[in-house]
């Protein structure tokens, strides 16, 4: 080993974790998570989010990361470069690099909203930054991210195009880290109740302070664009519609009518506003506040039929352990959707459950078509957009998948 001839490590942190023999493999492969079971012992007494050196069983330096005493993911790695300190400059550099990677997306003037930092996949475990025009919504999901909140906010605030930064750390994963949920203004202006963003010539209102996630489903941007095609005169059903992202896209594409279903009345209210904001026909829209599972059944019982159906449910399974129950949920709604689809009609169906692989999702959808006694073809496989990248050493970052299916008969 080349490392063996070097000094054990040049400690930049006061504390270190020593791995059990043979457990350095994932670290060497640059996987950013170190589970508690891999750790033989801790030297020093690192606090929540403190930086620790990671050493193999022989004491050789491997990486540097953030200690999280309460989480099964005991250390999230910041760097594999022994000369790179974890300090304010580190966060400014990583943020800058991550944001620069998005330039291609924004330069075209296509959108002024995107995910600027996608946590582990951008070298900043636990840190999410979403851009909504001149505002930024931030989620700090891990002990390490929390420890460096000041540095992260200052680095973001220093950017020329930022008027306000708002925290949306109201997510349950923080509890696994022993952190309370938190929301509020972090810097600059408080975002208004509705921030207007641009996306491929359409405009959407986003409630950064209380909307779902950080306000908008940025990860569906490219699919909203796809959903504008082939819509001429279509009767559309948008289930799990949220603030009408797909509704507006379908109308812009020429849809004759769109029925949008969601369990959240506030989300659909903003959906109505989004239709008006784009000068599209409010009369073409119907908004139903309901449980989509029950409503799809009701529509089936009434023998309703649609030319295009969009199914974009919330996450049913975060992990593979919950996959069974989630699979039943996906099967159920996709089966109903196939029955509601006219021959020749298209189904846009999605899963954002990390615990359901693309292969399994495809199987579930195939099973649903079979049980619905419908012949269908996959026209397209869909996934994450470029601002939600999946870094190759962190496959866990892959969560969104979708299919465009066509009912043949
Ligand atoms: N397609 C949307 C995002 C959908 S997110 C977009 O592109 O913006 C999932 C949505 O499902 C959320 O709006 C949530 O309120 C809604 N939802 C969750 N459970 C539901 C249920 N059982 N019935 C109907 N809607 C539900």
Q: How would DSSP label each residue in 258-280?
A: EEEEES-HHHHHHHHHHHHHTT-
The mean per-residue pLDDT over the stretch 47-73 comes to 97
Q: For 383, which DSSP code?
A: -
| Residues in CB range of 188: below 8 A, 6 or more apart | 157, 162, 163, 164, 165
Cα 191 to its chain centre, rounded Å, is 21
Instruction: Give 313 Cα–ligand 1 centroid separation in angstroms.
Output: 5
**Residue 289 exposed, middle or buried by CB count within 10 Å (0-12, 13-18, 19+):** middle
Cα separation values, 48 from 77, 242, 248, 378, Å: 14, 36, 44, 47
Indicate which atom in ligand 1 lies nearest the CA of residue 216.
8
CA dist., res. 254 & res. 265, Å (int): 25
- Confidence band for 4, pLDDT divided at 50, 70 and 90: very low
Stronger pLDDT, 233 or 14, i.e. the higher one: 233
Stronger pLDDT, 317 or 72, i.e. the higher one: 72
Percent of the chain with pLDDT over 90: 91
Residue 318: per-residue pLDDT = 75
- Confidence band for 193, pLDDT divided at 50, 70 and 90: very high
Q: Is the CB of 245 under 6 A from ligand 1?
A: yes
Considering only CA atoms, which of 230, 207, 226 is closest in space to residue 217? Answer: 207
The mean per-residue pLDDT over the stretch 261-268 comes to 98
Longest dimension (CA), the chain: 75
352 is catalytic: yes
Tokens 């026209």 correspond to 379
Total length of the chain = 409
The mean per-residue pLDDT over the stretch 207-227 comes to 97
Quick check: helix, strand or coil at residue 52? Answer: strand
- Confidence band for 68, pLDDT divided at 50, 70 and 90: very high
Instruction: Say whether pLDDT at 149 is over 80.
Output: yes
Dig out the tokens for 150 from the structure.
Answer: 């000041």
- The DSSP line for 87-118 is SHHHHHHHHHHHHHHTHHHHHTSSBSEEEEEE
pTM (2 d.p.): 0.95
- Confidence band for 105, pLDDT divided at 50, 70 and 90: low
Residue 106: per-residue pLDDT = 59
CA dist., res. 348 & res. 309, Å (int): 6
CA dist., res. 59 & res. 3, Å (int): 11
Helix (H) or strand (E) holding 221: helix 221-226
- Confidence band for 408, pLDDT divided at 50, 70 and 90: very high
Cα separation values, 384 from 77, 381, 389, Å: 24, 11, 7
Q: Is the CB of 169 under 6 A from ligand 1?
A: no
The mean per-residue pLDDT over the stretch 349-375 comes to 97
Q: Name which residue sits closest to atom 9 of ligand 1, judged by CA.
A: 314
Instruction: Give 162 Cα–ligand 1 centroid separation in angstroms.
Output: 29
The mean per-residue pLDDT over the stretch 276-280 comes to 98
Q: Is the CB of 204 under 6 A from ligand 1?
A: no
- Confidence band for 225, pLDDT divided at 50, 70 and 90: very high
- Confidence band for 409, pLDDT divided at 50, 70 and 90: confident
Residue 252: per-residue pLDDT = 98
Q: Is the CB of 260 under 6 A from ligand 1?
A: no
Tokens 């099964």 correspond to 72
Residue 139: per-residue pLDDT = 98
Residue 317: per-residue pLDDT = 80
Indicate which atom in ligand 1 lies nearest the CA of residue 243.
8
Instruction: Give 118 Cα–ligand 1 centroid separation in angstroms.
Output: 22
Q: Is the CB of 235 under 6 A from ligand 1?
A: no
Instruction: Give 378 Cα–ligand 1 centroid separation in angstroms.
Output: 23
């Amino acid at each position: 080993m080349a490392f063996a001839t070097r000094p054990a490590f040049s400690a930049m942190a006061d504390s270190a974790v020593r791995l059990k023999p043979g457990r350095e493999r994932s670290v060497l492969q640059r996987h950013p998570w170190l589970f508690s079971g891999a750790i033989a012992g801790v030297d020093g007494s690192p606090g929540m989010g403190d930086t620790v050196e990671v050493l193999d069983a022989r004491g050789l330096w491997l990486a540097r990361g953030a200690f999280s005493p309460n989480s099964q993911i005991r250390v999230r790695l910041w760097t594999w470069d022994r000369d790179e300190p974890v300090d304010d400059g580190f966060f400014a550099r990583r943020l800058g690099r991550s944001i620069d990677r998005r330039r291609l997306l924004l330069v075209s003037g296509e959108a002024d909203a995107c995910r600027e930092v996608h946590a582990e996949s951008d070298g900043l475990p636990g840190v999410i930054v979403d851009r909504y025009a001149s505002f930024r919504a931030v989620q700090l999901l891990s002990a390490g991210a929390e420890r460096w909140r000041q540095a992260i906010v200052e680095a973001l605030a220093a950017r020329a195009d930022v008027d306000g930064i708002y925290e949306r750390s109201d997510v349950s994963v923080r509890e696994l880290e022993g952190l309370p949920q938190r929301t509020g203004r972090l810097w600059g202006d408080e975002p208004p109740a509705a921030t207007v963003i641009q996306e491929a010539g359409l405009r959407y209102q986003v409630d950064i302070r209380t909307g779902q996630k950080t306000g908008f489903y940025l990860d569906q941007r490219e699919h909203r664009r796809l959903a504008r095609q082939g819509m001429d005169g279509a009767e559309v059903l948008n289930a799990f519609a949220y603030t009408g992202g797909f509704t507006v896209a379908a109308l812009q594409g020429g849809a004759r009518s769109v029925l949008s279903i969601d369990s959240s009345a506030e989300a659909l209210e903003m959906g109505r506003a989004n239709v008006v904001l784009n000068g599209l026909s409010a009369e073409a829209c119907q908004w139903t506040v309901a449980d989509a599972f029950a409503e799809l059944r009701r529509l089936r019982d009434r023998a309703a039929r649609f030319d295009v159906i969009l199914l974009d449910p919330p996450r049913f399974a975060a992990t593979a352990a919950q996959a069974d129950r989630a699979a039943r949920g996906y099967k159920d709604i996709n089966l109903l959707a196939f029955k509601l689809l006219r021959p020749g009609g298209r189904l846009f169906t999605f899963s954002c459950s990390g615990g359901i692989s693309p292969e399994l999702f495809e199987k579930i959808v195939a099973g649903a078509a079979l049980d619905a006694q419908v012949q269908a073809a996959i026209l397209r496989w869909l996934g994450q957009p470029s601002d939600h990248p999946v870094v190759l050493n962190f496959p866990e970052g892959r969560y969104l998948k979708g299919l465009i299916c066509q009912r043949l008969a």
